[in-house]
Structure 1
Amino acid sequence: MPKPLDPKCQLCAKLPTAKAKVLHGTNGDGCWNPKVCHNRRSFYRRRTDDNSAQLDAITVEPPAKYVAVLYLYKEPGDKPLHALGAELWLGQQPICRLEPIHCFGLTAGKIRTYTDQVLQAFASQYAISLYQYKDMFEISPTHCPVRPCPLNPDL
């Protein structure tokens, strides 16, 4: 089995020789070896060029399907929900967004009702059928985009 490529050498091969000697020579991290580094740098440069030249790239259009995604701003575990937002995607592009709202004082039942209303609004706006969210992402409340926010009073 061949030896795996060294990522450090791959990055070094992209640098000019003078800069590589400064970074990796005696004043740098000390890994520069004049007996092997010139050949190795050449090998890595040619290998990268050869591999990219041998691969053909194709594109296949992914299926365009409507999906709803729910964003929950909360701490991991059994912690209260800080805020929530949603998006409607068609294929690989978001097409409609519900701006996030704070969930202060909302019970689990009211949050469930609200998220169901969001699905119904997406469905009626685009004349489609949506029964559930395709995915839910939990995001740390420190990334809450709602302003003003008690977690980010300076912003």
Structure 2
Amino acid sequence: MPKPLDPKCQLCANLPTAKAKVLHGTDGDGCWNPKVCHNRRSFYRRRTKSDSTEIDVIAIVPPATYFAVLYLYKEPGDKPLHALSAELWLGQKPVCRLEPIHCFGLTAGKIRIYTDQVLQVFAQQYDISLYQYKDMFEISPSHCPVRPCPLHPELSLFCHYDERIIR
């Protein structure tokens, strides 16, 4: 009986070699073996392509239902909320997005009221019933899309000057 395919190697085979060495080399999890990995990655890439041609693929359209998703930009744990955003989805596609806002100075109660208002606006706009968010995702504040943002100071803010003042 053949040895089963290693899922970790299957995923690694799809990465560029440089990235695979970083993730699995001495700085990563340490499983990279230069004597074995190059051939194994090639084997897994060819194996995956040939296996995919043998399997029939069908597509069935999933039922389209509305649901809302909340995005919280915050550090893990009991840290303050940096920013938030929300989206309304219909089936597999987003249909409406709340622009992200910073939450500086907002209490937990005010944030709860605001997120409930977002659900109400989504429901009124699309004439549907929404009672809660289907899912909430915590995203690192370093990915905050709001500009200007204290985490992403623009160089021009600190370097801007008025020539009249200098003279």
> Structure 1-normalised TM-score?
0.72
After TM superposition, the structure 1 = structure 2 runs for residues 6-155 of structure 1, keeping only pairs within 5 Å, are 7=9, 45=46, 50-154=50-154
Task: Kindly report the root-mean-square deviation, in angstroms, between the aligned alpha carbons of the 2 structures.
Answer: 2.7
Q: How far apart are 1:30 and its partner, in Å? A: 5.7
- Identity %, equivalent residues: 75
Paired residue type of 1:151: L
AA at the equivalent of 1:66: Y
Q: Distance in 2 between matches of 1:104 and 1:84?
A: 11
| Whole-angstrom CA distance in 2 between matches of 1:106 and 1:128 | 28
The 1:87/1:48 distance shift into structure 2, 3 A limit, reads closer
Change (3 A) 1:30 1:129: closer
Give, in angstroms, the shift of residue 53 of structure 1: 3.0
- State which structure, 1 or 2, has the greater radius of gyration over its C-alpha atoms: 1
Cα distance, 1:2 vs structure 2:
0.7
Deviation of 1:63 after TM superposition, in Å, equals: 1.1
In structure 2, C-alpha distance between the alignment counterparts of 1:105 and 1:49, rounded to whole Å? 53
Amino acid at match of 1:109: G
2:97 counterpart letter in structure 1:
R
Query: Structure 2: 5+ residue runs without aligned partners?
Result: 14-33, 156-167
Query: The residue matched to 2:88 in structure 1 has which SS?
Result: strand
Structure 1: tracts of 5 or more residues without a match: 12-28, 32-36
| Superposed displacement of residue 48, structure 1 | 5.0
Structure 2 CA distance for aligned equivalents of residues 126 and 58 of structure 1: 31
What is the one-letter code of the residue matched to 1:117?
Q
In 1: Cα distance, 2:122 partner to 2:52 partner: 43
Residue 118 of structure 2 aligns with an amino acid whose one-letter code is V
How far off is 1:52 after superposition?
Answer: 2.8
Tell me the amino acid that sits aligned with residue 114 of structure 2. Answer: Y
Q: 3-state DSSP class of the match of 1:101? A: strand
Per-residue CA shift, 1:107-150, capped at 9, x if unaligned?
Answer: 01000000000000000000000000000000000000000000
Residue type of the alignment partner of 1:73: Y
Shift of residue 54, structure 1, vs aligned partner: 2.0
